[in-house]
């Protein structure tokens, strides 16, 4: 049936108009609430003083966030694509000087955990390999109740106030008119928003860095993002930042690898996590904290409450307080990984909030989101969300209630039920909020201490190695090169000049922008309609730390090669002794060696033994492996050196800076590669012992292989 011609809006026939969708584009109109109330400030939450907590009476924030929280059913609006695992956290020692949290109060004390990793922007069916922030959320099932440390693999965020979170996600999600692109920030709406939000520049440096392309979940850091509080038994408070440090080290992929892996295996990260645990190569992280005494809150050249800032480790070292080990895969993905519900407001005595306005908004948003995603107020009764601590309260009924409460009363105070459940005293483990003094006018505003948007963006860029800086330049060229609007590209490059003139220059060259124009003042668009824009101009602050070694991925090398994937390129007639020697050495160090051959099934070695093939050259690629070994065997090499796929496999590994081991007759295969004729053999190990290969793999990549980029794969 042909589509009926739609009647234009405001036609002479309003009854027919009523049959059609109520369209609205907002052109030339003032912003309003859903009740038609005109909005004066859509940038800032209502606070008790400029640095105070967010007020519950902020009806505009609650309406805006409630609508945003319920925009997707049933997958998570953000962090939809994820993978998770069970494990335990083991405390390193008594931390009672700073916190009364029981799970941190005794050396060797183990607490069950469930950890979920995720990408942020993509839908549930998107690729693991998107250039994106990764979620890093841990649920501790403590004896005092569930504690959720809900963070990311980057220590800062795009925005300072939760009021702007719906805007950020609307901008980064697929554009509303065609729902393109998926799980990618390389489009106009995102960069239009970012180019008008200088507070995002620090986070943009992180997202454009190699941090956005982790080699695996087990090789990325995690952060609590916000500043929280520790509170000890004396009631003394300390500001605290949380860090997860991977024992395996921090390593990344290249963008070329990430794009190819998305085609070869879009489940690359979740498959890696699953296989590592199944094979007994349990991923491990150490939990660290940066602790700042209350009296030192204002001693830094940045504001501790600003979620776009971090504390350089040169100013406050990270104290390691425990280790997390993930040692069990979920039994059922949906029942556990999909239904787990995290919330930064799930606390235990000894841990509390700061007045960070982004954190304050999250305290409302998470519960609100679960109501639609998990079907009502009883999501805490889903098995994966149940605490190991007993639950006693007066909550009854509601959709999907599972607990069968006995007794007559469901209120407090009562005499019929003996006054139970009763309020727990602090000495009995009852939670008491930190008694912070709050004074201030009700106000929608940003503290002037939040107006430094570039010093830490500059610090991050300057702290990267030359290789990492080059990758950031390439990332910005790629992302902005996908933006159709010349105005947005030019404005964004102009913003980069506030971070680094050199960075802006190199990005501009790749985009053909000349000359570079700095955006006109005021740069910051996060101000209410009646405000003087001059009050919101960014402050120029010179960071007290000019370079921070820990901000570079290459500063955190891991211990050993546990969990690495090594490709062994071989076919019929492979040298049995060489093959077994390397396989045994790799297995002993916890690496996974896979036989890649010209065909599937099995191959016969030089002794006539049968060897099972893991993948054929048709079903895999070098991008899925960390290093390549080609054992000798004249018959095997005779076959492989005539196979274009085998030659390309080695060339591609070389292009991606990986270590390659060549033994005996395999030199004939190496001689057929483009790399052997047009590049140096840097990082190629000829006829060396397996121990040398193991040691080399521990370095992850040989980044000073300058000619790798020229390999035409």
**If residue 272 lies in a helix (H) or strand (E), which one and from where to where?**
helix 268-278
Contact status, residue 648 vs residue 617, Cβ threshold 8 Å: no
* Distance separating alpha carbons of residues 373 and 75, to the nearest angstrom: 7
| DSSP string across 164-221 | GHHHHHHHHSPPTTT---SS---SHHHHHHHHT-GGGHHHHHHHTSGGGSBS-GGGS-
* Distance separating alpha carbons of residues 499 and 202, to the nearest angstrom: 9
Q: What does DSSP assign to residue 423?
A: P
CA angle 598, 602, 604 (to 5 degrees): 90
**Residue 14: how many other CB atoms lie within 10 Å:** 10
Q: How far apart are the first and last CA of the chain?
A: 50
CA angle 154, 155, 160 (to 5 degrees): 110
* Distance separating alpha carbons of residues 286 and 249, to the nearest angstrom: 11
**If residue 362 lies in a helix (H) or strand (E), which one and from where to where?**
helix 357-373
CA angle 541, 544, 550 (to 5 degrees): 115
Peptide bond into 522 cis (omega under 30): yes
Residues 6+ apart with CB under 8 A from 15: none
Residues in the chain: 713
Catalytic residue (choose from 44, 60, 79, 471): 79
3-state DSSP helix/strand/coil % of the chain, to nearest 5: 30, 15, 50
What are the backbone dihedrals phi and psi of residue 238, each rounded to the nearest 5 degrees, phi first? -135, 140
Residues 6+ apart with CB under 8 A from 87: 112, 113, 114, 115, 282, 324, 325, 326, 327, 328
Catalytic residue (choose from 44, 86, 146, 152): 152
Token couple for 321: 């307080």
Q: Which of 177, 159, 178 is nearest to 169 (CA)?
A: 159
Query: What beta strand segments (E) does 341-496 contain?
Result: 351-352, 442-444
Looking only at the bridges linking them, the beta strands covering 602-604 and 610-612 are antiparallel
| DSSP string across 605-663 | BTTS-EEE-SEETTT--GGG-SEEEE---HHHHHHHTT-HHHHHHHHHHHHTT-EEEE-
152 has catalytic annotation = yes
**Residue 175: how many other CB atoms lie within 10 Å:** 14
- Lateral strand order in the sheet of 659-662: 615-616, 592-597, 565-569, 627-630, 659-662, 684-686
CA-CA-CA-CA torsion sign (581, 583, 588, 589): positive
- The three-class DSSP label of residue 156 is coil
Active site residues: 79, 152
């Amino acid at each position: 049936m042909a589509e009926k011609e739609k009647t234009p809006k405001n036609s002479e026939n309003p009854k027919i108009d009523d049959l059609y969708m109520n369209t609205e584009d907002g052109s030339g109109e003032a912003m309003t609430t859903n009740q038609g109330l005109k909005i004066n400030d859509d940038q800032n939450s209502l606070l008790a003083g400029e640095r105070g907590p967010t007020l519950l009476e902020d009806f505009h924030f609650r309406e805006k966030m409630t609508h945003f929280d319920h925009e997707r059913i049933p997958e998570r609006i953000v962090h939809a694509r994820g993978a998770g695992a069970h494990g335990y956290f083991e405390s390193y020692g008594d931390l009672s000087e700073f916190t009364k949290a029981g799970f941190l109060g005794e050396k060797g004390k183990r607490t069950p955990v469930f950890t979920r990793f995720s990408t942020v922007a993509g839908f549930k069916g998107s690729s693991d390999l998107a250039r994106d922030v990764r979620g890093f959320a841990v649920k501790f099932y403590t004896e005092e109740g569930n504690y959720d440390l809900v963070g990311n693999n980057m220590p800062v965020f795009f925005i300072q106030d939760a009021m702007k979170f719906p805007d950020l996600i609307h901008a980064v999600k697929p554009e509303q008119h065609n729902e393109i692109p998926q799980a990618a920030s390389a489009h106009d709406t995102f960069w239009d928003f970012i180019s008008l939000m200088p507070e995002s520049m620090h986070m943009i440096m992180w997202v454009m860095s190699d941090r956005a392309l982790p080699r695996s979940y087990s090789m990325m850091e995690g952060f609590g993002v916000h500043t929280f509080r520790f509170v000890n038994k004396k009631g003394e408070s300390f500001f605290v930042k949380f860090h997860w440090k991977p024992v395996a080290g921090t390593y990344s992929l290249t963008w070329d690898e990430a794009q190819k892996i998305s085609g070869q295996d879009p489940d690359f990260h979740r498959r890696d996590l699953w296989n590592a645990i199944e094979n007994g190569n349990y991923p491990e992280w150490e939990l660290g904290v940066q602790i700042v005494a209350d009296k030192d809150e204002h001693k830094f050249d940045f504001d501790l409450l600003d979620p776009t800032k971090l504390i350089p480790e040169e100013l406050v070292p990270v104290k390691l307080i425990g280790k997390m080990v993930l040692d069990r895969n979920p039994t059922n993905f949906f029942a556990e990984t999909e239904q787990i519900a995290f919330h930064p407001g799930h606390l235990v005595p000894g841990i509390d909030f700061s007045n960070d306005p982004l954190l304050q908004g999250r305290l409302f948003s998470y519960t609100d989101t679960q109501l639609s995603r998990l079907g009502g107020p009883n999501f805490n009764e889903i098995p994966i969300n149940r605490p190991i601590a007993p639950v006693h309260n007066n909550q009854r009924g509601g959709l999907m209630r599972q607990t069968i409460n006995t007794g007559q009363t469901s209120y407090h105070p009562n005499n019929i039920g003996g006054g139970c459940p009763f309020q727990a005293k602090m000495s009995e483990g009852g939670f008491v909020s930190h008694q912070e003094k709050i004074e201030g006018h009700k106000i929608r505003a940003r503290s002037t201490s939040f107006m430094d948007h570039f010093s830490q963006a500059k610090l991050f860029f300057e702290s990267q190695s030359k290789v990492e800086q080059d990758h950031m330049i390439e990332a910005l060229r790629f992302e902005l090169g996908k933006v159709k609007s010349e105005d947005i590209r030019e404005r964004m490059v102009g913003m980069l000049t506030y971070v680094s003139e050199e960075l802006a220059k190199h990005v501009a060259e790749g985009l053909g922008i000349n000359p570079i124009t700095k955006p006109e003042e005021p740069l910051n668009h996060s101000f209410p309609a009646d405000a003087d824009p001059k009050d919101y101009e960014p402050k120029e602050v010179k960071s007290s730390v000019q370079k921070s070694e820990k901000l570079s991925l290459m500063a955190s090398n891991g211990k050993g090669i546990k969990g690495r994937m090594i490709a062994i390129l071989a076919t019929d007639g492979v040298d049995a002794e060489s093959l077994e020697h390397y396989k045994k050495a790799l297995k002993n160090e916890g690496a996974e060696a896979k036989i890649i051959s010209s065909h599937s099934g099995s191959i016969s070695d030089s002794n006539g033994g049968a060897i099972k093939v893991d993948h054929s050259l048709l079903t895999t690629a070098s991008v899925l492996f960390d290093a390549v070994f080609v054992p000798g065997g004249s018959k095997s090499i005779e076959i492989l050196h005539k196979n274009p796929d085998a030659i390309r496999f080695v060339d591609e590994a070389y292009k991606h800076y990986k270590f390659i081991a060549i033994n005996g007759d395999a030199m004939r295969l190496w001689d057929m590669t483009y790399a052997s004729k047009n590049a140096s053999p840097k990082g190629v190990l000829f006829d060396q012992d397996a121990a040398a290969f193991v040691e080399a793999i521990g370095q992850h990549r040989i980044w000073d292989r300058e000619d790798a980029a020229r390999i035409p794969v």
